[in-house]
Amino acid sequence: MEKSIETMWKEGFLNSDVLIVPKVNNLYDKKSLYIMTKFKKMFLKNIRGIVIGSILLCIGSYIIGAILAGSIVLIMMLYVAYTAYNEMKGLEKIDKGQSSYLFLKSFKDWIERSIDRYGRMYRFVYPILILTFYFGIWFSSSFEGMRERVGEHSDLFLGLHPGTTILVLSFAILMSIFSKVIHRKDVKIIYGGIVNKLDSALTEMEELRD
C-alpha cells in the first residue's frame, strides 16, 4: 500500500464525480413494490393455509365419522381459496407505470374492494360453515353416545337438541349479519402490519406532495 488511507480519502474526494448529489425523486418506487410483494406473499401463504387446513379438517371429519360435513367444508373452503386466488390476479392489473402515490392508492383501493367483496361472500360462508360443523359433529358416529344421552334427558326435534340448535342458529345468523365487520377484523389481524405500512407510506406521500 503506497498511500495512507487518510491520503486516499482526501485525494479521492478532490475528484468531483464522487460527490454528485443524486436526484431525490421516485422516492417510494421500490418501497411501493416491496409493500405489494410482501402482501402478495402473505396472501398466497394464506390461500395455501386455507387449502391445507380444509384438507386436514376433511381427514379429521372422516376419522370422527362426519365425512359429509368434512366434504362440504372442504368444497366451501376450496371455493374461498379459488376466489382469493382469482382476486389476487386483480393485483397484477394495477399499473406499475403510474406514480408511486397512485400505485399505492390503487393498491389500497383494491384492498378495500376486496374486503367488501369478501364480506359479502362470508355472509353465506360463515353460517354454512357453522351449521355444517354443528350438524356434522352432532350426527357423526363419534357423537352417537352423546346423542342418546341427551335424548334420554330432553325431547329431541328432528334428532337435534332444540336449545343448542337455536343457540347455534342464532350464532350463525349473527356471523352472517356481521360478516363484513368480522372479515375486516380478520384482515387487520393477518395483514395489519402491511396495511399499516401502506397507510403510513400514503400519509408520508401526501405530506410530501403538499
Partner 1 sequence: MNNDFYSSSILPYAAIIIKICRAYTDTQEDFEDYYQEVCLQIWKSRNNFNGQSEWSTWVYRLSLNVNMTLLKKRKNNQKDSSSDLLAGEATEEPQAFADESLDKLYRAIRQLSEVDRAVILLYLEEKSYQEIADIIGTNSNNIGVRIKRIKERLKKILDGKVN
Question: Does 97 interact with partner 1 (rule: CB under 8 A)?
Answer: no
- Decide: helix, strand or coil at residue 11: helix
From the list 6, 95, 152, 155, which residue makes contact with partner 1 (rule: CB under 8 A)?
6
The interface with partner 1 within residues 9-48 (CB under 8 A) comprises 9, 11-13, 15, 17-19, 21-24, 27, 30, 33-34, 37
Contacts of 85 (CB under 8 A, 6+ apart): 47
Please list the residues that pair with 19 across neighbouring strands: none
CA 48 to chain centre: 11
d(CA 207, CA 210) in angstroms, rounded, equals: 5
Minimum CB–partner distance for residue 208 and partner 1 (Å): 6
d(CA 69, CA 131) in angstroms, rounded, equals: 9
The interface with partner 1 within residues 102-121 (CB under 8 A) comprises none
From the list 64, 83, 180, 204, which residue makes contact with partner 1 (rule: CB under 8 A)?
204
From the list 5, 145, 148, 189, which residue makes contact with partner 1 (rule: CB under 8 A)?
5
Show the beta-strand stretches assigned E in the chain.
none
Hey, what's the cell of 196? 399499516
| Residue ranges in contact with partner 1 by CB under 8 A | 1, 3, 5-6, 8-9, 11-13, 15, 17-19, 21-24, 27, 30, 33-34, 37, 204, 208
